[in-house]
Structure 1
Amino acid sequence: MARSSSGIVAGLTAVALGAVGFLAYQASASAPERKPAAVGQPGPPAPNRPAPAADPAKPLPVPADSGTGKRVVYSVGLKRVWLVEAAEGSGGANGAPGAEPRTFAVVPSTVHPKPGGYAVTSRSGAVTGSDGVPIEHVVRFTSAEGVVVGFSARVDGSLPAPDAKKKTGGIRMSRADGDAVWAFATISTKVVVVP
């Protein structure tokens, strides 16, 4: 009896392995063809995987399509601002020779400016924002959808997401970053918006 039960187990194992092999073949035959990425070219992003975290030791580079010279660069998609001196890498907004441009994350408004070049048109030390909260160091550079758009910091230092039901133009940042924008972006300073 031992011989017949071990023969049955061996037979069932062989059938199971055959079934697994057949299913694997069917799956590979019905999968879409994937071409390998060219050498030096990144492949398509993996679905449902978060982007790799930025290395804090390596600041994000200034977007290549943001022009030249002294400018504030605002990336709508990256939700980030750069303060770029006229001679990049030779002083930066941090003031140290050879320092990288200062860059920091922001909370976008509900109304976004179109990509392009602008200039700082007005500034206010302290006002009430379009969302009804006290703000400081307001640096305005355009309007969109009938709303004035600019950089600012909430006086209470908080950074909540804006109410999606309201049209607001305040691109919010921390109070320290708001201080830096205020010192850097005087009237007529170039502001470049990139996607």
Structure 2
Amino acid sequence: MPAPKVWVTGLTVGAIAAVTVLAMQADKGPHPTAAAARPSASAAAGATPAPTKSAAPAAVPDGSGTGRRVVYSLAEKRVWLVDASDASRRTFTVWPGTVNPDPGTYTVSSRNEATTGSDGVQIENIIYFAAKSGISIAFSNAVDGSSPPPAAGKQTGGVRMRAADGAALWTFGETGTTVVVVK
């Protein structure tokens, strides 16, 4: 009668072979894809446009400068994080407030980890870069992940984004970072 070690070794080799065959068959089959995250009902109420991830990343706008910078397109409601080699490292759509900065070149002037926005929403990753008509304009994300429409009758300069995008911008947009706003 074979020794128990031989049985264990034989069973182990057989199991590894079976798993390898199954893995090869699975690799040839269909692969699931992650569905795009949808905002919650509270996030979607009145929010326009809803940030989405496209299959092909949007190209950095022409005329947005060179070098390491944040590019914000007013028309596309989109932000790009561009590295020193002019390659886009991340792009995402945003929900602008009621007051937009004029097209031009700005600098991140200050940052604040968290506060309450002028619309009463708890926000984080606040990056100030401009002011217009006495309204500070800053990128931020709502702590609860919502994308509320601007408060009725209030002038707001918050440019909101999803939490993951806010965290990426917070890491990228240090004080002194160039922000280019294009039409």
For the criterion TM > 0.5, the same-fold answer is yes
Separation in structure 2 between the aligned mates of residue 88 and residue 174 of structure 1, nearest angstrom = 24
Paired residue type of 2:74: V
- Contact kept, 8 Å, 1:88 with 1:101, in 2: the verdict is no
* Equivalent residue in structure 2 for 1:88, among 86, 89, 94: 86
Offset at 1:164?
4.7
- Which of 102, 107, 116 is matched with 1:114 structurally? 102
Q: CA deviation at 1:132?
A: 1.6
The 1:86/1:173 distance shift into structure 2, 3 A limit, reads same
Separation in structure 1 between the aligned mates of residue 152 and residue 105 of structure 2, nearest angstrom: 26
Name the residue aligned to 2:46. none
Identity %: 54
Unaligned stretches of 5+ residues in structure 1: 1-53, 90-99
Tell me what 1:76 maps to: 74
Q: After the TM superposition, which segments of 4 or more aligned residues of structure 1 sit over 4 Å from their partners?
A: none
SS at match of 1:101: strand
Residue 93 of structure 2: aligned partner:
105
Q: Distance in 1 between matches of 2:54 and 2:120?
A: 34
CA contact (8 A) 1:110 1:164 kept: no
Q: SS of the residue aligned with 1:191?
A: strand
**2: CA distance, partners of 1:164 / 1:113:** 20
Unaligned runs of 5+ in 2: 1-51
> How much does 1:176 deviate?
0.3
Q: Classify 1:147/1:68 alpha carbon distance in 2 versus 1 (closer, same or farther; 3 Å).
A: same
- Offset at residue 88 of structure 1 (A): 2.4
What is the TM-score when the length of structure 1 is the normalising length? 0.65
Distance 2:64 2:86 in 1: 12
What TM-score, normalized to structure 2? 0.69
- Closer, same or farther: CA 114–164 of 1 in aligned 2, 3 Å: farther
Aligned residues: 132
SS of 1:177's equivalent in the other structure is: helix
Match of 2:160 in 1: 172
Q: Deviations over 1:81-139 (max 9, x none)?
A: 000001023xxxxxxxxxx4310000001000000000000000011112121100000
Distance 1:109 1:117 in 2: 19
The RMSD of aligned alpha carbons is 1.5
- SS of the residue corresponding to residue 82 of structure 1 reads strand
> Among residues 129, 148, 157, which one is paired with 1:160 in the alignment?
148
Alpha-carbon contact 1:70-1:190 (below 8 Å) kept: yes
Structure number with the bigger relative contact order (C-alpha 8 A, sep ≥ 6) is: 2
How do residues 10-159 of structure 1 correspond to structure 2 at under 5 angstroms? 56-89=54-87, 100-159=88-147
